[in-house]
A and B are shown apart, each in its own frame.
Chain A
Amino acid sequence: MNARGDEGRRRAASGRLKWAAVGLLGLALIAGPGTAAAQEELVVANESSVRVYARTAGGNTVPLRILEGSATGLSRPEGVALDLVHDELVVANVNGNSVTVYARTASGNIPPLRTLQGSATGLGAPFGVALDLVHDELVVANWLNNSITAYTRTSNGNIPPLRTVSGAATTLDTPVGVTLDVDHDELVVANFGGSSAVYSVTVYARTASGNMTPLRRLSGATTGLNQPAGVAVDLVHDELVVVNFGGHSVTIYARTASGNMAPLRTLSGASTGLWGPAGVALDLVHDELLVGNEWGNSVTVYPRTASGNTAPLRTLAGPSTGLTNSTFLTLSTSERGKFFTLTPCRVADTRNPASPSGGPALAANTSRSFPAVGLCGIPADARAIAINVTVVGETDVGDLRLYPTGGPVPGTSTINFLANEPLANNAIMALGTGGRISVQCDMPTGTTHFLFDVHGYFK
């Protein structure tokens, strides 16, 4: 196993990246506010393509869509992430030294919407990629540079990172998988151990920069880590899920595990079908664990709590699937949220002096966004808020359209009003970029004051 890692680095250095030899991962599960058409798909990074299947696909199934060809800019795609707020697909290209972004439903040989590439980016064989829609950032694990780089989500071209985590104190060694834990504001990295053959999962503050010592480091013989590649955090069950490329295993730990700690569960053995597993996606909606097997050219799916030598619930593999060196994957499911009550609290009121949560009044045919996360006890990982929307001092008839910030202005309305009639309505509204909601004010002319109170959230 050590030799394989060393060989991988050597090959990379010689410009011959053969990812079957180093493995990695392609299944990250990103679920977010679901758009109307974005439900229940599985996105898998392959040797030279990104393939999309129905979430429940098994057997020798033809993909729903294939993104492939010279115009796509795909060059050994590995990390994949779905952005359901902006309806985009983000891909890290190891050989291309780039991060390319497409419309979520892109298919065929179409060029990316944005490409992050060039010497200023600090990208070095980017492998894992994670999206932070709360802070509007993109985080990349750089396999060759032993670094984690963070960018503004919409960066396009040769743009330097906002932050770089690298240096001896970080103990980063061939980082492959990266995921964000917005609940605890942490960054979790799987270190493949390509240069040291020391395997670890390291955890940093989300905003870590420079030569930072990890907050926690899971490493040692008892951990069962063996060329860890894909990594996922399960905030519902407070667990850490790691896919071990060299160990042909999935190991699951307490989320805060550190040191030489044994896994809570280990999934491995001939019946599992795990063979050069690289990527992982957790499906907390359907309580499943999905693994991309680079050597197995397959995606294997298990009950989330599976352990031991358990056969998969289903296996996606065969010539019709086109799976070749399948690694990282991501899923779109609508995220399950539980309701949490809050003491009723006014989040914004435009009758107050001018401020981000205050005046001026909404003007006819303009859109304005308001912060929600961080106010009135709304946490960073809230997906939606239960609110009461009030209009007052309307100078004309009209309606307001509320929507998640960053998303398209929808053809839906939240409240309709007459002139000078204080009026209120209940709404449940998904949170968008930066934990904000936007309001489009539809009126012939004039202004209206707007306020909203929160009484709970879903997460």
Chain B
Amino acid sequence: MGTMALALAPAEAAGPYNFFVLAPCRVVDTRATPGLPLLANTLRNFPIVGSCGVPINATAVAMNVTIAQPTDFGDLRISPAGQPVPLASVINWSTTHSALANGAIIPLGNDGLGNHVTVQCDMPLGSLGQVHLIIDVMGYFAL
């Protein structure tokens, strides 16, 4: 039990890691064809490693998270895939925003299916809303 909990725990206090610069590059865009927006109160995983020059040994990425065309207000929680979604949001928006962005540094995980970050889309209970997600990377952290 104790071992299990340790194995699943986020890599707290891991590091120190070095920062590696990348040319800005779009790694996720749910508006792209075939596009599927994030749906209210659902969770979705995305691959990051292997795209935009983010190598397999990357432990975290410096990203800009943009939301677009929200149909309800809400927030996104973005966290390492394969680990419990924490109570920590990356971006909050209202429906007056057609698009809004926030910079973030997000550790990477692995859900066993080739995905590295988990995105939890929080909207009001019972909402049928949706929102598009765009993630641009500017660099990564690694040993």
Binds B, one of A111-119, A156-164, A320-328, A408-416: A408-416
Taking the complex as formed, is B127 at the interface, i.e. its CB lies under 8 A from any CB of chain A? no
B9 CB within 8 Å of chain A: no
- Nearest B residue to A399, CB-CB: B99
Q: A427-B103, A429-B138, A430-B138 are in contact. Are A36 and B96 (CB under 8 A)?
A: no
A337 touching B21, Cβ below 8 Å: yes
Tell me the B1-27 residues at the A interface (CB within 8 Å): 18-26
Q: B64 in the interface, Cβ–Cβ < 8 Å?
A: yes
Is the C-beta of B101 less than 8 angstroms from some C-beta in chain A?
yes
Mark each residue of chain B from 89 to 108: 1 if its CB lies under 8 Å from any CB of chain A, else 0: 00000001111111110000
The answer on a CB contact under 8 Å between A37 and B18 is no
- Residue pair B22, A33 in contact (C-beta under 8 Å): yes
**Most chain A CB inside 10 Å of its own CB: which residue of B52, B66, B100, B101:** B101
**Are A403 and B20 in touch, CB under 8 angstroms?**
no
Task: Please determine whether B102 and A35 come into contact, CB atoms closer than 8 angstroms.
Answer: no
Proximity bits, B12-52, A CB within 8 Å = 1, else 0:
00000011111111100000000000000000000000001
Rounded to whole angstroms, the CA-CA distance of A151 and B90 in the bound complex is 46
Distance to closest chain B CB from A332 (angstroms): 10
Inter-subunit contact A39/B21 (CB<8 Å): no
Q: Are B25 and A425 closer than 8 Å at their CB atoms?
A: no
Closest to B68 in A: A416
Contacts of A37 in B (CB 8 A): 53
Given the complex, which residues of A lie within 8 Å of B62, measured CB to CB? 428
Chain B binding surface, main DSSP class: strand
Contacts of B68 in A (CB 8 A): 416
B55 proximal to A (CB < 8 A) = yes
Tell me which of A40, A401, A426 contacts B102 (CB under 8 A): A426
Say whether B25 contacts A458, CB under 8 Å.
no
In the complex the two chains form, is B101's CB within 8 Å of A337's CB? Answer: no
The chain B residue sitting closest to A411, CB to CB, is: B26
Is there a chain A Cβ closer than 8 Å to B74's Cβ? no
A14-55 interface with B by 8 A CB criterion: 33-40
- Is B136 located at the chain interface by the 8 A CB criterion? yes
Closest B residue to A459 by beta carbon equals: B19
Interface size in chain A (residues, C-beta < 8 A): 40
A403–B19 touching, CB < 8 Å: no
A387 to chain B, nearest CB (A): 9
Q: Is B80 an interface residue (CB 8 A)?
A: no
Interface readout for A390-411 with B: 1 if CB under 8 Å, 0 if not?
Answer: 0000000101011110010011
**Residue in B22, B23, B62, B99 with the greatest tally of chain A CB atoms within 10 Å:** B23
Q: Please measure, in the bound complex, the distance between the C-alpha atom of A40 and the C-alpha atom of B142, giving whole angstroms.
A: 14
| A55, chain B: closest CB distance, angstroms | 11
Is the Cβ of B20 less than 8 Å from the Cβ of A430? no
A337, A401, A415: the one contacting B20 at CB < 8 Å is A337
Q: Is B82 an interface residue (CB 8 A)?
A: no
Complex contacts, A39 vs chain B, CB 8 Å: 53, 55
| A437-B20 Cα distance, complex, nearest whole Å | 17
B109 at the interface (CB under 8 A from A): no
Contact of A410 among B23, B53, B99, B100 (CB under 8 A): B23
**Complex Cα distance A403/B21, Å?**
12
Contacts of A336 in B (CB 8 A): 18-20
Q: Is the CB of A415 within 8 A of B101?
A: yes
Are A34 and B20 neighbours in the complex by a CB distance under 8 Å? yes
Partner of B23, one of A40, A407, A418, A458: A407
Set A285, A383, A402: member contacting B24, Cβ < 8 A = A402
What B residues does A383 contact at CB under 8 A? 21
Chain A residues in 8 Å Cβ range of B19: 336-339, 384, 428, 458
Given known A-B contacts A335-B20, A339-B19, A430-B138, A416 and B100 have beta carbons under 8 A apart: yes
- State the CA gap A50–B138 with chains docked (Å): 30
> In the complex, what's the smallest C-beta–C-beta distance from B31 to chain A, in angstroms?
12
Given A413-B136, A414-B64; A384-B21 close (CB under 8 Å) = yes
List residues of chain B with CB within 8 A of the CB of A334.
20-22, 53, 55, 140
User: Which of chain B's residues has its CB closest to A408's CB?
Assistant: B23
A336: nearest chain-B partner, CB-CB: B18
Q: Assuming A425-B102, A425-B103, what are 11 further A-B pairs, CB within 8 angstroms? A: A34-B23, A36-B53, A334-B53, A383-B21, A410-B136, A413-B64, A413-B66, A426-B103, A428-B103, A430-B23, A458-B19
Residues of B within 8 A of A (CB): 18-26, 52-53, 55, 62, 64, 66, 68, 96-104, 134, 136, 138-140
